[in-house]
Amino acid sequence: MTLRWGIVTAGKISQDFVNAFNTFPDKGDQEIVAIAARNKDRAAEFAKVHNIAKVFDNYQALASSSDIDIAYIGALNPDHYALTKLFLENGKHVLCEKPFCLNIKQTQSLINFAREKNLFLMEAVWTRFSPAYIYLEKEIEAGNLGEIRFIEANFGILCESDRTLKKELGGSAVLDIGIYLLNLSQYVFKEEPQKVTAVGNLNDSGVDVTETMILEYGSGKRAVLNSHVGLTLWNRATIYGTKGRITLEDPFHFPDKVTAVDGTLKTFPLHTSRLPYNFGNCAGLVYQTFEVARCIRAGLIESPRMSHKDSLVLAKLMDTVRSQLGVHYDVDDQEFP
């Protein structure tokens, strides 16, 4: 049976997601059938560009429609919680863009609700489905790096977007791009750090725009991670083990090149697309849809590769970083069922 996707919001990341999906040569038995946005004209234009059959001018109509099985939510950060809950309430599976929510309380609430409804729910940390990251994982498991001891990684972009810089829009360097750094550390070490130290800077809106994060694990293992939304950094990551190192080349969060333990350059080409992308290497957004389809058909409500626990740990780490830097959202004072 075909897995039918509905797209929630017509923003830049939704455009890239649909472009990546539509232009991949073999998507299996799944398709994008509907789009919803608050502005029907914008939704209609999106549908025309991406050849989507059905257009909805509000999210409730899409959520209650029998035309879709799963929603991809590409909304602004503060809307993730309410929109995800809306679609779960209406019996739809959900793939929600990162960060899952603004804090761990919202994240736990949605996970609990999805489990009650027996519906699939996943945070769209597309990095974990990158062929380069799967290669890295295999190299680690094969023992080719020895014992992993240290990670260093940078992610810096020159960003002028309100969604990153305004508190009322859920702005935050750590929520926007720092999550990729934290994800890498968790992906490699696969345990919660014993200590987290963060230093950084806030803008006039009270939003973090830089941070250096030091994650300390057992037996002296450590990650040093730098994020910056006011400066372009060399956005690569190196994983050091007792036998050697691997470097995920720029952009490390979804690289198409990896410098292997033996020094050779491995390439992981992405498919070509009909339309230009808003963000780098976004052709890779399609890979997570294969895992979503696999899990749903297997009757799973979470992915082993990007589990609910993984999302909760990331949310906890981001809360910790925000707390140390003094970034506070109104929802931090609220409780969620």
pLDDT confidence of residue 317: 99
The overall longest dimension of the chain from CA atoms, in Å, is 57
Length of the chain: 337
Q: Residue 131, preceding bond cis, omega within 30 degrees?
A: no
Beta strands across the sheet bearing 30-36? 54-56, 30-36, 3-8, 70-73, 93-97, 121-124
- Of 131, 86, 84, the closest CA to residue 290 belongs to 131
Residues of the chain with CATH 3.30.360.10: 131-267+307-333
pLDDT confidence of residue 274: 85
pLDDT confidence of residue 1: 84
pLDDT lower than 70: segments of the chain: none
Domain spanning 131-267+307-333 has what CATH number? 3.30.360.10
pLDDT confidence of residue 96: 98
- What are the tens digits of pLDDT across the range 43-73? 999 999 999 999 999 999 999 999 999 999 9
Residue type at 144? Answer: N
With vertex at residue 233, the alpha carbon angle to CA 227 and CA 239, rounded to the nearest 5 degrees, is 70
- Of 27, 6, 16, the closest CA to residue 273 belongs to 16
Residues of the chain with CATH 3.40.50.720: 3-127
- Of 212, 238, 240, 210, the closest CA to residue 224 belongs to 212
Gap between the terminal Cα atoms of the chain: 34
Residue 200: φ, ψ to 5°: -175, -165
The domain at 3-127 falls in which architecture? 3-Layer(aba) Sandwich (3.40)
